[in-house]
Amino acid sequence: MSDKSAALSMPVTVEQIQELLPHRYPFLLVDRVIEIVPDVSVVALKNVSINEPFFQGHFPGHPVMPGVLIVEAMAQTAGLLTQISSRMKGNTGSPLFYLVKVDNARFSAVVVPGDQLRMEVSLKRLMRGMGIFVARTTVDGKEVASCELMCAARSDK
């Protein structure tokens, strides 16, 4: 985000997200941030389109978003929580976090073209460069996936 005031406005757009995360098409899986409580929780959206490249092979004639990509979308949302929180405090950003562990992943419904994912991520604990996040994703108010994520700050060594 170019300036401090931009960091405080909601929604956070995809252009601003690209300033905060290194991911790009076809792997940027967050379109917009609509709510944030700094250092506590974030809500983000992903619009699922038939034009997603993974639908070519998953599955022909019956397109279903892979669960691993839903988990990745939740992990990117967790990254946005740390980045936006840092910017809102006036910092230029926090270190990038890498996904290192996924616990208790559950998938309760398929995600198909036309769905809008609503990722809700809360920070459970942050210590010694490790963050633990609780994440859930819904479509039209119905939970489709949930998990606990552990992320580690990138070491530039």
Mean pLDDT of the chain: 92
Q: pLDDT digits over 34-68, tens only?
A: 999 999 999 999 999 999 999 999 999 999 999 99
The residues annotated as belonging to the active site are 58
pLDDT digits (tens, 9 = 90+) for 72-101: 999 999 999 999 999 998 887 778 899 999
pLDDT, position 8: 47
Coil vs helix vs strand at 87: helix
- Domains annotated on the chain, with CATH: 4-153 (3.10.129.10)
On the 0-12 / 13-18 / 19+ scale of CB atoms within 10 A, 130 is middle
What integer pLDDT is reported at residue 91 of this predicted model? Answer: 87
| C-alpha pair distances (Å), 69 with each of 7, 78, 100 | 27, 14, 15
Could you read off the pLDDT of 5-38 as tens digits, one per residue? Answer: 344 489 999 999 999 999 999 999 999 999 999 9
